[in-house]
């Protein structure tokens, strides 16, 4: 390939994503494979709004092993709602099979199946709701039947996209692996490398009006870099943080106010 061809490849989003993955692997070798990272990116871009108003900047998806990635998901019952949807299993909230195990086509996954990230489904619900009224029952397993809940989740994701709210991870690789994370210093390096080589361009191209960091660690690690973009930003605490009901209500109110103010 010519030098011009190499430069063009690097400038393309997938070229930048692969470069970022390679650089991060130099910092911390225990990563998802590039195929997993690319599949996560496909799911994320599927739900990218036409006009992005608010970016939810979270830490990362959850580490997905190559063995688990071999699992395929059967979306055939929802083709009319999810045309051309990715079919690879990744531990990422936009992958419906992560939480909805009835969609899995085989049993390659280990027996310790996770229930997805229900806290993020609550965050999504808050973003599209008004006046402090949240219908969490619509996306809970204890209050819905499987088909109804899956359709409710797809409807919620469409509302989120229509409102211009988009989930972007600060790290392109999964930072959570069997309940553990890399040391803080390594995590900071991964977040900053991801931002510099891929996430920054993703954010700038989306042209959001506001960035809401999910978690203080993301905000503190990337605040100088986010500030350079000129986009206003703040943070709410991690959805899995141990908060009182009153503290959680204040976090939800803060997020909802931002979405109401900027998603117009």
Mean pLDDT of the chain: 91
Strands (E), the chain: 54-58, 165-169, 210-214, 233-236
Residues 6+ apart with CB under 8 A from 130: 256, 260
Decide if pLDDT at 1 tops 80.
no
35 vs 4, residue with greater confidence = 35
**Each residue's pLDDT tens digit, 45-87:** 999 999 999 999 999 999 999 988 988 899 999 999 999 999 9
Residue ranges per domain, the chain?
Answer: 3-262
Name the one residue in this structure whose structure tokens are 């900071």: 188
Decide if pLDDT at 10 tops 70.
no
Decide if pLDDT at 110 tops 70.
no
Q: Tell whether pTM > 0.75.
A: yes
Comparing C-alpha atoms, which of 99, 65, 255 is closest to residue 165? 255
CA angle, corner 73, sides to 145 and 93, nearest 5?
70
Decide if pLDDT at 30 tops 80.
yes
Can you name the CATH fold of 3-262? Uracil-DNA Glycosylase, subunit E (3.40.470)
Name the one residue in this structure whose structure tokens are 């229930």: 115
**Each residue's pLDDT tens digit, 139-185:** 999 999 999 999 999 999 999 999 999 999 999 999 988 778 999 99
Strands (E), 111-248: 165-169, 210-214, 233-236
SS3 helix, strand, coil % of the chain, rounded to 5?
50, 10, 35
What is the model's pLDDT at position 177? 87
Q: Is 231 within 8 Å of 73 (Cβ atoms)? A: no
> Cα–chain-centroid distance for residue 140?
19
At 165, phi and psi to the nearest 5? -105, 130
Average pLDDT over residues 7-18: 67
């Amino acid at each position: 390939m010519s030098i011009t061809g190499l430069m063009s490849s690097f400038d393309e989003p997938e070229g930048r994503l692969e470069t970022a993955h390679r650089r991060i692997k130099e910092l911390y070798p225990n990563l998802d494979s590039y195929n997993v990272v690319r599949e996560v990116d496909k799911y994320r871009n599927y739900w990218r709004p036409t006009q992005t108003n608010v970016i939810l900047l979270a830490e990362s998806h959850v580490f997905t092993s190559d063995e688990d990635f071999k699992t395929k998901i059967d979306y055939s019952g929802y083709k009319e709602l999810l045309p051309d949807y990715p079919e690879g299993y990744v531990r990422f909230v936009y992958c419906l099979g992560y939480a909805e195990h009835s969609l899995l086509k085989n049993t390659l996954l280990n027996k310790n199946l996770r229930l997805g990230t229900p806290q993020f489904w609550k965050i999504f619900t808050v973003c599209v709701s008004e006046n402090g009224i949240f219908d969490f029952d619509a996306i809970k397993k204890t209050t819905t039947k499987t088909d109804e809940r899956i359709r409710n989740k797809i409807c919620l994701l469409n509302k989120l996209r229509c409102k211009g709210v988009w989930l972007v991870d600060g790290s392109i690789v999964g930072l959570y692996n069997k309940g553990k994370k890399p040391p803080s210093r390594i995590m900071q390096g991964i977040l900053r490398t991801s931002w510099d080589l891929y996430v920054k361009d993703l954010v700038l191209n989306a042209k959001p009006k506001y960035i809401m960091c999910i978690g203080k660690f993301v905000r503190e690690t990337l605040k100088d870099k986010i500030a350079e973009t000129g986009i206003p930003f703040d943070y709410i605490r991690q959805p899995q943080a141990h908060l009182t009901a009153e503290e959680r209500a204040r976090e939800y109110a803060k997020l909802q106010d931002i979405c109401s103010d900027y998603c117009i």
